[in-house]
Structure 1
């Protein structure tokens, strides 16, 4: 009884997610079906119905030869084109001679474009979203400057990585200070996730688990590697740090004789002071070095050319917390319009590649299908969380779902766009289309497989609540 009660409670908690997932699905379905619709119209095919959502019909209107419908079941949509065997299984019109406005009367290449139009438009939508996000928000990340923080009992910790390691390579690629340290593409690398580090002067290599995607899902995406360099990003005006002459890029290495490896270290030490003067030692890169800050002492120079300074500074009480007025470094990258286009398209391709690799890992048995596969409930939860995080996260999820929808639809499964495409490619090669009986039978099999698949993912979602 307790388990049933928990499931019912979780279902009630899920209800606020519905609105966001419906919005996301309606956007994706509309764009997908619009691709089919516009290509059909371009080649002068008759479109009998354009439906967003499945029956029963909520509202509809007819313009010309086409009925435009919104259905009550918001899990998909369809475009019904005259002379085409589709999900409706309507074959009555195929008994007569092909008419000029029918799908079956058009050249194979035109029918291929109509069938793949939905997939193409989903990819274009993703690219436009990524381009818009790059142009509006740019990108931001904490640079890998120095050692990393490794959380206990995480994937990274189990790999053998430890706090204080300096990551020097990922999958054989040198880590650059002006790029994010790790991407999801790195983690799901087909040859394995390999991290090279420096630890106490020694070079070490660690490999991720074979089922790393499954473990990431179980840990809610937490790999366990954090970058927290004690480097100044912002110096607030009229604060002890500003008066002492600190600048962006300064690396704090010591406070009152205590070595500082991470920004959180100095937060902790400064926060526990009583306002007494502290001795701070920091390194300033030669690229920003100038005159010695007032009150500071130059102690020397590091091997990489940074100048070593020492000064005394007293933290001030700010609502019960002692602070000196500095914030950690974050790299912000803004894009011009042309750069946004290039970067957005590149992100579309890289995201597509990651999704393909993820599917390959699932179907080759590397990963646990049940733990990694998500249905409407999982998508709803993810979409709601993204919406709560803001516009950037919501549209980023919509773009990723758009690519996922495109890839799913192009799979060579009867009843999906990919199944129709296989028949058209066959017809183009042998100059003869498969028999109507065979196509109807495969459509029925495909629909049955899709219904079983949907039942599985929904039941799987419920079990994971």
Structure 2
């Protein structure tokens, strides 16, 4: 509202709290058109109610700044202005650029001026834009749900080892249904509930992959900008499409799946394994893990360019681990899962496992094989000896007995830096110390690496003459540092399994001498098999579609309420610093949203416009001068005291509000350019 009115203010704030990680800047026109539509409805609300109250509306503008195009119809000038991120309705007696008009007796004498109207009438005019945005936001949502919106479900994909969700006992394939009393149905609900919660913990309810219901308490951690619990969305049973995989191949080079005959094709949907129907990605993972040493028959559904489908049988052999022949020292236990066999047996964070049954860890048994060792002995009592640091007495030995669960080893993988190795059958995770304890005879490291060597760095190197990038998406070596703050031996070992065509170059420190570089070509183990076969899968999405117009409206109402609530939670968490301002985005971020939605279809575009409408409604009604909420505060004051605020107060408040909003605009644009790198 006003000559400068809402203009870009509320819209840019709305853009800021979207906090979405987005792709490259494109389709600015879609942004302008989308924002123009949202702004149009907002200003239309002000305009319509002002006319209904017989106020002289001097100008109705979409955009602000220099006028590009205008025409006059009746007493009102309709304009299209240069900058599309906003709009305004200019009324006689209401001008944010000249707040003194609100107290002008001369202007008030005109019965058609804004300030000549009663307080209830002015409240109706001020709130009309917000109300219109709520209504149109609801309708945008309803339209989207009537068309059908593809969203990731609330089923968990990767549960990162050692992170809060893992410690609470959550597993891949679990489906969350409730967080802190709020229903969740999408993965986005999980992310928002985690980031926006103000409590120290999350009380969650859900259903395990095996069908059993569970309740858990999770203690989120800050990842630098917002709270997280360490989970990713689940993948489905379809191989990744051609455009999302290197060289158009949905299998990793050099893997069993890559060598299968007939070959896999991008977009293939896995229906069954060895004739056993699959009920999801967790089922696929579990079956392959339990049959890791076997040849498996994949039945896939393949759809050709003419949209005709056919069943294809693909035989995939087992895949051995790529090994170097190095046995590294085991580190202390990093995390223990709640309710796990390890917790019940008395294992604690900080313990170091030194002996299992009659085997010395690191000398008689490779720590890398512990996930399989325990899993293969599920249901049996296993004796474990740990060293535990105790105050005043140093390390003491403790004898414990553990009975593992029937959960395959290596089904959880150290796929990100600083991730420990999970022994899921007993519920512990430990890091590896980059000190070599043993070198196997005849292995790639034999004669090049010695017991006692310290590995300081790992490089994954493509063979000379390689012309095309691999899964790492570059030809240069991938460098992984190993030190106290970068406990990355497990991560490096897993990357060795992913980048099958790469050799390993180790930076080794020996007996205090100058570090030397050693290049090794890994070999595949003949009796130790991966639970994976080298297939890249797509993320799973489910359709949220209303069965009737009434249901679409109902879903729209629910989404509107949740969106508004989330905005208030976002603002609260920004104030309490539970959410970093670095999560904010500005107008360039909106351009990236437009790029995303323009690629996904009309339903997703409608969802975006609905969410932006609710953002605009809620944020524009905050009690900040120059915003509608600020105007409403002054009207409430006038209604209670029966007198208008003084011109001095109005001018001061207006300048303070403008300064705040302009500062916020500068901040989010700075973040867009220099932090998010847009």
The residue aligned with 1:356 is 568
In 1, Cα distance between equivalents of 2:85 and 2:135: 21
Q: Does structure 1 residue 171 correspond to structure 2 residue 182?
A: no
- In the TM superposition, 1:2-401 aligns within 5 A as 16-89=26-99, 91=101, 94-96=104-106, 97-137=108-148, 144=155, 148-152=156-160, 163-164=171-172, 166-167=174-175, 170-171=178-179, 180=186, 183-184=189-190, 186-187=193-194, 188-191=196-199, 192-195=201-204, 205-209=216-220, 211=222, 214-215=225-226, 224-227=231-234, 259=287, 270=298, 333-369=545-581, 371-401=582-612
* Selected match of 2:660 from 449, 461, 464: 449
1:408 matched to which residue of 2?
619
Q: Is the 8 Å Cα contact of residues 149 and 162 (structure 1) preserved in structure 2?
A: no
Higher fraction of helix: 1
User: Helix, strand or coil: the match of 2:104?
Assistant: helix
Describe the SS at the equivalent of 1:458: helix
8 Å contact kept, 2:154–2:233: no
Distance in 2 (CA, whole Å) between partners of 1:124 and 1:79 is 19
Asked if the contact 1:87–1:447 (Cα under 8 Å) also holds between the matched residues in 2, the reply is no
Q: Identify the residue that residue 431 of structure 2 maps to in structure 1.
A: none
Contact 1:46 1:101 in 2 (8 A): yes
Give the match's secondary structure for 1:58: strand
Deviation, structure 1 residue 164: 4.5
**How far does residue 446 in structure 1 lie from its aligned partner after superposition?**
1.6
User: What do the CA deviations read for 1:241-266 (whole angstroms, capped 9, x no partner)?
Assistant: 79x999997999799xx83689xxx9
The unaligned stretches of length 5 or more in structure 1 are: 1-12, 232-238, 279-327
Other structure's SS at 1:68 match? strand
In the other structure, the counterpart of 1:308 is: none
Q: Distance between the aligned counterparts of 2:82 and 2:35, measured in 1? A: 13
How many residue pairs align between the two structures?
A: 384
RMSD (Å), alpha carbons: 4.5
Give 1:385 deviation, angstroms: 1.6
Change (3 A) 1:384 1:27: same
Tell me the secondary structure at the aligned position of residue 385 of structure 1.
Answer: helix
1:150-200, Cα deviation, whole Å (9 max, x unpaired): 254796667655645745764366999xx5577245433444433457699
Corresponding residue SS for 2:71:
strand
Distance 1:131 1:170, change over 3 A: closer
* 1:47–1:80 CA contact under 8 A, matched in 2: yes
Query: How does the TM-score come out when normalised to structure 2?
Result: 0.49
Query: Could you tell me the TM-score, scaled by structure 1's length?
Result: 0.69
Q: Is the 8 A contact 1:141 1:332 kept in 2?
A: no
Report if the CA contact (8 A) 1:170-1:193 is conserved: no
Q: Aligned to 2:298, what secondary structure does the other structure show?
A: helix
Query: Separation in 2 of the partners of 1:456 and 1:241?
Result: 50
Report the more deviating stretch, 419-428 or 383-392. 383-392
Is this contact kept in 1: 2:624–2:657, CA < 8 A?
yes
Q: Which has the higher strand share?
A: 2
C-alpha distance in structure 1 between counterparts of 2:559 and 2:632, whole Å: 27
Q: Which SS does the other structure have where 1:259 is aligned?
A: helix
The answer to whether the Cα contact below 8 Å between 2:172 and 2:209 also exists between their aligned partners in 1 is yes
Q: Summarize the Cα distance change of 1:447–1:64 in structure 2 as closer, same or farther, 3 Å threshold.
A: same
- Relative distance call for 1:400 and 1:168 in structure 2 (3 A) is closer
Deviations 1:342-392, CA, capped at 9 Å, x for gaps = 1111111111111111111111221111x1211111222122222222222
Aligned residues of 1:82 and 1:101 also touching (Cα < 8 A):
yes
- The match for 1:3 is none
SS state at 2:43 partner: helix
* In 2, Cα distance between equivalents of 1:57 and 1:74: 11
Cα offset for 1:445?
Answer: 2.2
CA distance in 1, matches of 2:669, 2:280: 52
Contact 1:24/1:398 (CA < 8 Å) preserved in 2? yes
| CA–CA separation in structure 2 for the residues paired with 1:252 and 1:75 | 45
Q: Per-residue CA shift, 1:30-76, capped at 9, x if unaligned?
A: 11111110110010000011111112110111111111111112221
Which structure would you say has the larger RCO, counting Cα contacts within 8 Å and 6 or more residues apart?
Answer: 2
Residue pair 1:45, 1:102 contacting (<8 A) in 2 also: yes
The residue that corresponds to 2:253 in the other structure is none
Q: Distance in 1 between matches of 2:275 and 2:75?
A: 74
Alpha-carbon separation, structure 2, partners of 1:59 and 1:426: 39
Q: Which residue of 2 aligns with 1:432?
A: 643
> Structure 1 residues 41, 268: CA separation in 2 closer, same or farther (over 3 Å shift)?
farther
SS at match of 2:72: strand
Max Rg structure? 2
Assess if the C-alpha contact under 8 Å between 2:147 and 2:603 holds in 1: no
Which residue does the alignment assign to 1:293?
Answer: none
Taking the aligned partners of 2:57 and 2:579, their CA distance within structure 1 comes to 42
